[in-house]
């Protein structure tokens, strides 16, 4: 069987889906991220936590840096650096996603999630100059850095890509 041929699941259709399905997943992540950030930005005061559970707060925060607030106090140049970097990474991920063989569904889902998250945070950087974060997980006075829906999608997407790489590497070892 050719790697690019679809896997038949029934007479009614094929699986895995066409690239437009992955683009729909990407768009849903971007939309959910945008709506959640709009909601917390209008409903909460900056840096005023609202307890959800004893270990979870919703806290509006502005992140001028990257993951874990890396370079957040760098003086402003980091905004443009992260906009350019995010744009290039998003373009590469989009091209990869569009060229992906249809039978690589786990890779497609992982890429769609990472792309959606990257675009979600890119929109913030372009419009606001910072990324809106609001999920605050904490325990015994220790707080994990605040994050958002886009960050969660990126994390889940990377986990799926690593899982896919692990599965593919096992298959390659078993077949040789």
79-137, pLDDT tens digit by residue? Answer: 788 899 999 999 999 999 999 988 889 999 999 999 999 999 999 999 999 999 999 99
41-72, pLDDT tens digit by residue? Answer: 999 999 999 999 999 999 999 988 666 555 55
d(CA 106, CA 10): 20
Q: What are phi and psi of 147, to 5 degrees?
A: -145, -175
- Mean pLDDT value across residues 24-33: 98
Catalytic: 133?
A: yes
pLDDT tier for residue 74 given thresholds of 50, 70 and 90: low
Catalytic residue among 33, 124, 136, 151: 151
Catalytic residue among 124, 133, 136, 164: 133
d(CA 40, CA 29): 17
pTM: 0.84
Q: Are the C-beta atoms of residues 78 and 67 closer than 8 Å to each other?
A: no
CB hemisphere CA count around 111 (13 angstroms)? 24
Q: Are the C-beta atoms of residues 133 and 148 closer than 8 Å to each other?
A: yes
Catalytic: 136?
A: no
Of 81, 79, 44, 76, which Cα lies nearest the Cα of 59? Answer: 44
Residue 164: CB partners within 8 Å, gap ≥ 6?
104, 106, 107, 110
d(CA 172, CA 6): 20
d(CA 69, CA 72): 5
């Amino acid at each position: 069987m050719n790697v690019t041929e679809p896997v038949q699941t029934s007479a009614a259709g094929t699986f895995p889906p066409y690239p437009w399905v992955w683009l729909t997943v990407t768009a849903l992540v971007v939309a959910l991220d945008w709506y959640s950030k709009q909601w917390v930005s209008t409903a909460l005061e900056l840096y005023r936590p609202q307890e959800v559970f004893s270990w979870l707060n919703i806290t509006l925060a502005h992140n001028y840096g990257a993951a874990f607030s890396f370079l957040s106090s760098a003086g402003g140049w980091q905004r443009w650096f992260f906009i350019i970097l995010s744009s290039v990474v998003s373009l590469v991920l989009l091209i990869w996603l569009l060229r992906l063989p249809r039978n690589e569904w786990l890779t497609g889902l992982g890429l769609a999630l990472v792309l959606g998250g990257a675009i979600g945070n890119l929109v913030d950087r372009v419009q606001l100059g910072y990324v809106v974060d609001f999920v605050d997980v904490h325990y015994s006075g220790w707080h994990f850095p605040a994050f958002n829906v886009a960050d969660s999608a990126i994390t889940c997407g990377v986990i799926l890509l690593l899982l896919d790489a692990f599965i593919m590497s096992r298959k390659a070892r078993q077949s040789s």
